[in-house]
Structure 1
Amino acid sequence: MLVPGKFRRGRHRLHSNDMLNRGYAYTTIIRDKDHGRTLLTHLATLYPHSTPAAWKQNLNNGEVTVDGVTATGDESLISGQILVWNRPPWIEPDTPQQFEVLFDDPYLLAVNKPSGLPTLPGGGFMENTLLSLVQKQSPDANPVHRLGRATTGIVLFAKTPQAAAQLSADWNTPRIQKIYRALAQGAAKHDVYEILTPIGLVPHPLIGSVWAASPGGKPSKSVAKAISRTTGATTFEVSLYSGRPHQIRIHLASIGHPLAGDPLYGPTGQPLEDLPGLPGDGGYLLHAQFLRFHHPMTDQRIELEAALPSGFLSHCDS
């Protein structure tokens, strides 16, 4: 049962426009491995979305400081220096501006995130994010976890530090059940897979490094149940028992069933060498469908469900 709050159950639309955002100051500390590198080279490596020539123009515009001093790009960096890029306001890529509220009380908020809307700032998005849209209505709400930009479904927010701390402590324990729906390539030979593939950062020639299947990675566990099969595809219900980045995408790929349309992972759980798009691009169907947990303040059992998006309904049974 929903407790009345700032939100009413249902869809919330917040209008996107082409106005500039507020800009952002990206702050990093120079590490030992970057000691002695020229600033221009470091910037082009740290932020590879822009060429050295573009960075030179940013430097000429006075956008970059090192230890508070406006930089030219010729500086030789020293470990421990504070580098700040004061990015001017920019027009962000458009994103969906609707979300459905599934639960709301004084301590928690749960919403159904649409595909294409980032949970948190990053990758050129700052204000066109679920966090920004939610905080316009509930300023104290912060997400307990995140979903990838293309992933749909339940995102849980905590409104108080106490609720956030308890949910974080419970997150990868049996007190919280996280169940996803995923459309994967290939017809599964088995009905149930317990996947224990470790996940860690691996190098990539185009994007530096990326999370992927890695023998030296962190222990991870998913259980995937095949719930329907069509020609060349399987719909899985996946339960998560750990919370690694891109876990479902990596785990299903590691058993030979990458998500249909995934631009990043191939059949071994390793990143594709020739990427058809950026890692955050969509094209796949992954949905956080069920979340079952104990309320962090009342211990009441909460069971949430986010309806499957239309793309799933054309591929599998609901």
Structure 2
Amino acid sequence: MDRGVSIITATVAAEASGWRLDRALAAALPTLSRERVKALISSGEVRNEAGAQVRDPSSKAKPGDYEVRIPAPAPAHNEPQDIALEIVFEDEHLLVVDKPAGMVVHPAAGNLDGTLVNALLHHCAGRLSGIGGVARPGIVHRIDKDTSGLLVVAKTDVAHEGLAAQFARHSIERRYLAIVAGVPNPASGSVDAPLARSSANRQKMAIVAEGRGKRAVTHFRLLQPLREAAMVECRLETGRTHQVRVHMTSIGHPLLGDPAYGRTKIAHRELLNQLDFKRQALHAAALGFTHPVTRESLSFESALPSDMQELFRALTV
């Protein structure tokens, strides 16, 4: 193995024969996104069983083993920044962070610094898993910029692979608290509706026909009715981009303050302005998983942040 390069063997199953290579390898490697796999193929980091480089992501996959080389994360524009973090748990393999609303998880266009990754690079002195790529060292999963709460970060590739496998199996416990418009009736239920990028607005997600997007399942239950609103708990079976926001909107209960999917009533809009509440009312309140190295069962909870507490009190009947 070259210095700083991880090598993973991906086995393409017989049923994936004939698929696009990037799709087949992404299915075989749940730790890597399809976009990441595509980039690795294009940059010559994938070899077939004969040892030949494969550079076309759209080429037809063949059953068997492929060697995928993952370069160590490079600094790029990611610079360590001394930004305070609320660390809930940490050991040599991983850490659990309670992210404040307003913090972007990783650098991207328009948010090149001040992100969670910048803070992690400083806190961990650069010791983060490289599987997520240059822009996302250590990042196993994300929560939106304006969603607060818990997420787990991998320091090592072993931890990253183990955690990603649990996410792929849907065995990670993730519970969110949300303040939504209206009171759900029935008081509990599930939304099972696939999600994909909206064809009308690529910045948004939308429910699409079966087979066109990724399966997404949200289980919700009413915790407390409020004034023309409610506090609900949403348990994620899957973890798609904007999942809770889109699913709750689809059943007529958008999150208060949601700038993309909300349809805020005038009374709620006035209250949000009065409280200067400028985000979707969503908090990742509980996270549970099996430690990928020690096999210990871990679970964490995060208290409702002060801005959502204030909104909750103002809406209490």
Query: Are the counterparts in 2 of residues 116 and 282 from structure 1 also a CA contact under 8 Å?
Result: no
Query: Are the counterparts in 2 of residues 118 and 130 from structure 1 also a CA contact under 8 Å?
Result: yes
Within-5 A mapping of 1:26-37? none
Question: Quick one: which of 239, 242, 254 aligns to 2:238?
Answer: 242
**Which residue identity is paired with 1:171?**
F
**Which residue identity is paired with 1:258?**
P
Calculate the TM-score normalised by the size of structure 2: 0.62
Query: Are the counterparts in 1 of residues 256 and 262 from structure 2 also a CA contact under 8 Å?
Result: no
Question: Quick one: which of 298, 303, 308 aligns to 2:304?
Answer: 308
- Structure 1 residue 217: Cα displacement: 2.2
- In the other structure, the counterpart of 1:79 is none
- In the other structure, the counterpart of 2:287 is 291
SS in structure 2 opposite 1:314?
Answer: helix
Question: Quick one: which of 122, 127, 136 aligns to 1:140?
Answer: 127
- Structure 1 residue 282: Cα displacement: 4.9
Question: Quick one: which of 187, 210, 214 aligns to 2:208?
Answer: 214
Query: Are the counterparts in 2 of residues 292 and 304 from structure 1 also a CA contact under 8 Å?
Result: yes
SS in structure 2 opposite 1:171?
Answer: helix
CA displacement 1:14-69 (0-9 Å, x = unmatched) = xxxxxxxxxxxxxxxxxxxxxxxxxxxxxxxxxxxxxxxxxxxxxxxxxxxxxxxx
Extract unaligned runs of 5+ from structure 2: 1-76, 129-137, 264-276
SS in structure 1 opposite 2:245?
Answer: helix
Within-5 A mapping of 1:79-118? 97-118=83-104
- Alpha-carbon distance in structure 2 between the residues aligned to 1:191 and 1:312: 21
- In the other structure, the counterpart of 1:194 is 190
- Structure 1 residue 203: Cα displacement: 2.0
- Alpha-carbon distance in structure 2 between the residues aligned to 1:175 and 1:201: 25
- Alpha-carbon distance in structure 2 between the residues aligned to 1:227 and 1:123: 38
Question: Quick one: which of 254, 260, 265 aligns to 1:258?
Answer: 254
**Which residue identity is paired with 2:226?**
T
- Alpha-carbon distance in structure 2 between the residues aligned to 1:155 and 1:112: 7
What is the number of residues matched between the two proteins? 212
SS in structure 2 opposite 1:223?
Answer: strand
**Which residue identity is paired with 2:123?**
Q
Instruction: Check 1:97–1:190 CA distance in 2 against 1; reply closer, same or farther (3 A cut).
Output: farther
Query: Are the counterparts in 2 of residues 203 and 209 from structure 1 also a CA contact under 8 Å?
Result: no
- Structure 1 residue 209: Cα displacement: 5.3
CA displacement 1:121-174 (0-9 Å, x = unmatched) = 124111210111111110123121111100000121011100100100111435
Question: Quick one: which of 93, 117, 127 aligns to 2:113?
Answer: 127
SS in structure 2 opposite 1:99?
Answer: coil
1:162 aligns with 2:158: yes
Within-5 A mapping of 1:56-67? none
Query: Are the counterparts in 1 of residues 141 and 151 from structure 2 also a CA contact under 8 Å?
Result: yes
Structure with the larger strand share? 1
**Which residue identity is paired with 2:110?**
G
- Alpha-carbon distance in structure 1 between the residues aligned to 2:291 and 2:306: 30
- Structure 1 residue 253: Cα displacement: 0.6
SS in structure 1 opposite 2:169?
Answer: coil
- Structure 1 residue 98: Cα displacement: 3.6
Runs of 4+ in 1 over 2 A off after TM superposition: 96-99, 172-175, 207-210, 314-317
Structure with the larger helix share? 2
Please provide the CA RMSD for this pair.
2.7
- In the other structure, the counterpart of 2:5 is none
Query: Are the counterparts in 1 of residues 147 and 282 from structure 2 also a CA contact under 8 Å?
Result: yes
Instruction: Check 1:220–1:190 CA distance in 2 against 1; reply closer, same or farther (3 A cut).
Output: same
Calculate the TM-score normalised by the size of structure 1: 0.62
- Alpha-carbon distance in structure 1 between the residues aligned to 2:261 and 2:289: 30
- Structure 1 residue 296: Cα displacement: 0.3
